[in-house]
Chain A
Amino acid sequence: MILTTAPIDIVVGVVLYWIGIGLAGLVRPLSLRFISRVLFPLGAMGGLVLMAAALLGIPAAPATRVLPLGLPDLPFHIRLDALSAFFIGLLGVAVVGISLFSTGYFRRGQGTAPGLLCLQYHLFLAAMVTVLLADDAYLFMVAWETMAITSYFLVTSSHKIPEIRSAGFLYLLIAHIGAIAILLCFGVLQGGRGDYTFAAMRESELSAFWSSAAFMLALFGFGAKAGILPLHVWLPEAHPAAPSPISALMSGVMLKTAIYGMLRVTFDLLQTQLWWWGALALALGLLTAVFGVMFAAVQTDMKRLLAYSSIENIGVILAGIGLTIIFHAYGNPHLAALSLVATLYHSLNHACFKSLLFLATGSVLHATHERSLGKLGGLIRNMPWVAVTALIGSLAIAGLPPLNGFVSEWLLLQAFLFSPGLANPYLNMLVPVAAAALVLAAALSGYVMVKFYGVIFLGQYREARLAEARDEGPWARAGLVWLSAACVLLGVLPVGVILLLDHVTLPLVNFAIGTSAARTGWLLIAPVSPERASYGPLLFLLGITGTVLLTFALVRRLYHGRVRRGDAWDCGFPAQNARMQDTAEGFGQPIKQIFEPFFRIRRHLPSPFDAQPFYSATSEDRLWYWLYLPVARLNERLAAWIGILQHGRIYLYLLYSFVTLLALLMFVR
């Protein structure tokens, strides 16, 4: 039956299904058993269906529907084309894992009642799908705001804690500032004709100035949601505040809706693309990437670390969008398609591995009640499932072959390095620099992941009570394994994904690289030509697996079982304890030293005579002091000036109206 229904109707069905599940949560709002054992797995089924719909919808021709909802004479329009189907598929993959994990995650007595949480969660999912489906500005904004508000309530689900409330407020504030910019962007796009359907926006002919205005507004508005510098401040606050599955959903999926919006406006709704938009996006993206990874390197809270890592990945994706615009504007469709494929691929990868890692932190948090890296360690012994899946996620995010992170970063670097003389000499000079910055970000992200994984899972317990930590139950394991499997498969079988992505790039940049990339069969991808660069992920996997197994066997055979004698001189280490191993602070120290001007560091150094010495150092974001606090102060000062008008004396208020009336009568004839 599912094969005869149009994909767009399946997607609409899933939206309604999720809303239904959310409402079902209100039937028995306090029964955790019913909600987590029945409703969340049912929600995960919706994700599976969406994946199927996406696989059917990507190659199919765009389908449109007019829904009998909305205001009179202003119905909702929806449309499923390859781009939205791709992002819906991305959402489906991530949601299956996250919903399965959530089944075992939510506990009793943590802020919001489970039924309400279930409603918010599923409405959030439905709103994200609707954003991807919307074909008019009206439905898009309604869904976008629903997404912002439901996620706000999810972030503040432990609303009794003041820090969480203020983190939620910051998130809501920036989300609304962004939404205003998006609304204005649609206002510019409709070109003064008053028709807010996307179909009409594609037809409208805008001048270069207004096109640029629309692009800048979209960059700002969607950038606020995605966490692009300098609008990133809410990410490191909101992610640690939210429950882990929610962080996974927001970082893995919601940030991608902003990427979707940016692509939709830039390549679909706008008819012309100027090269300097691309240069701007590229510069902003690389700045964001390097900034994010630098801050990730010095974090000591595991969820903040992942939040900064999300900023880095969004920066990489934005750089990919910028590169696509540059190539597209200079009429180089092959490379434009290549960098667009890399961008989309990286979005999909990030959805998988970042969700996986956030879920893993959720498991660690539940098992140990500890978020600070300084108090974790050695958990691989107690939590093998979480440790192995988190290892896969860490390797993937660090961009190591044969996992998925490598494929997209490699493709993006190919796009950078194959740029053979654009028509603009300055760009020609700058693109290699940009490639270097991208490599810097990628390398540092590897460093960050070594720190993340090593400090949490390896070494010895830093606290005695960590020995009592327990591994996750079967539901959460299923979610973790699902997402790690996605990371592996996306890494090993890139050709299939690229062939599917052809349907997305073809309408957007009028070119598809799939056939040329797959010309040497499904084992090897060669995006430009096999002579220049190619990559066979499966061979890598086999090679690495073979080497590891061989080494394991050899070590086992040659090294173990022999007689060893203890040394007389232990090099000063007669016993090794947890305080001797490298801490998160210590591991991040080199980065802190090298990039010191970028941080605002506050240190407390103990004096030699202190009876109870302690050391503390916090690295803060300078942008907070340079940009946000001045804006907040300006706002307060303006409010104080306006407050001068308020006296509480009625005759003065009357005088204001009187003077206004007289002025209007005198001057506005």
Chain B
Amino acid sequence: MPFSAQLINLMAALLLLIAFAMLSQRRILSLIYLFAWQGAVLAANSVIVAWSTGQTHLYYSALLTLALKAIILPWILHRLIIRLNIKWDVETLINIPTTMLVGIALVVISFNLALPVTQLAGTITRGTLGIAIAMVLLSFLMMITRRKAVPQVIGFLAMENGLFFAATSTTYGMPMVVELGIALDVLVGMLILGIFFFQVREAFDSLDLKHMEKLREE
């Protein structure tokens, strides 16, 4: 196995580790740091793929990822929680060990799902598709198990990271236009959600989403 492939596998393993770390993390501030690290590793992975395959457009995409997901978004989130003054622990709906067990089951399922695709693909990064799917599912699981609004948004952003990783590992990334579009969407979505947080707190005096249950039709 060439050195670059080993490096890519290392990055993938790191990403999966971070995903599990996020799933088990109780503190919002640490969650944001983990999210920033995830973005950084993702950018590094793109650089390695670009370097080993000669796909130059992946450099730009790596730069974009680093700027947006490792710096700007974590910075916005950080400012947000300081402004909202919510540095307290994250409450989970299901306790952490159970969540981790479910997460392991999801990883097994993802690898099982990725198997037929891996056999067909001819890219250097093909082994990592399973991890990409696992990242998406784990982020989804995180959104489900968190009760507060901010961790749910982080889960949503992490899911987008997983999709980006899947695109890189199967087809060396999406076309530049699509990537730019998604990046802009994520940024705008983040800003809107930020405003939304303030509105939710204004209305309910809390960011706990269980207050939204009142909105249902009787």
> Which A residues fall within an 8 A CB radius of B?
643, 646-651, 654-655, 657-658, 661-662, 665-666, 669
Contacts and interface: CB of A to CB of B under 8 A. Distances in A.
B144 A654 contact: yes
Contacts of A662: 109, 137
B216 A654 contact: no
A646 B93 CA distance: 19
Contacts of B143: 651, 654
B177 interface: no
A648 B211 CA distance: 9
B140 A646 contact: no
Contact of A650 (B141, B209, B217): B209
| Most-contacted residue by chain B among A647, A651, A655, A665 (CB, 10 A) | A651
29 contacts: A643-B217, A646-B216, A646-B217, A647-B213, A647-B216, A648-B213, A649-B212, A649-B213, A650-B152, A650-B212, A651-B143, A651-B144, A651-B145, A651-B146, A651-B147, A651-B209, A654-B144, A657-B140, A658-B137, A658-B140, A661-B137, A661-B140, A662-B137, A665-B109, A665-B113, A665-B133, A666-B109, A666-B113, A669-B116
B215 interface: yes
B83 interface: no
Contact of B215 (A648, A657, A669): A648
B189 to A, nearest CB: 16
Nearest to B93: A651
Contacts of A658: 137, 140-141, 144
Contacts of B133: 665
Please provide the 4 A-B residue pairs with the shortest distance between their CB atoms, ordered closest to farther. Answer: A648-B216, A648-B213, A654-B144, A651-B144
Given A651-B145, A651-B209, A662-B109, 18 more contacts: A646-B216, A647-B213, A647-B216, A648-B212, A648-B215, A649-B209, A649-B212, A649-B213, A650-B212, A651-B143, A651-B146, A654-B144, A657-B140, A658-B140, A658-B144, A661-B140, A666-B109, A669-B116
A286 B7 CA distance: 84
Contacts of B147: 651
Nearest to A665: B113
A665 B114 CA distance: 10
Contacts of B141: 658
A22 B14 CA distance: 72
Contact of B144 (A646, A655, A669): A655
A648 B144 contact: no
Contacts of B146: 651
Contacts of B210: 649
A662 B209 CA distance: 25
Contacts of B152: 650
A20 B116 CA distance: 66
Interface string B64-108: 000000000000000000000000000001000000000000000
Contacts of B113: 665-666
Contacts of B214: 648
Contacts of B144: 651, 654-655, 658
B198 to A, nearest CB: 18
Interface in B131-160: 133, 137, 140-141, 143-147, 152
Nearest to B214: A648
Nearest to B94: A651
A502 B213 CA distance: 70
Contacts of A654: 140, 143-144
Nearest to B213: A648
A661 B113 CA distance: 12
A649 B216 CA distance: 9
Contacts of A651: 93, 143-147, 209
A104 B137 CA distance: 72
Interface string B107-124: 001000100100000000
Contacts of B215: 648
| Most-contacted residue by chain B among A643, A647, A665 (CB, 10 A) | A665
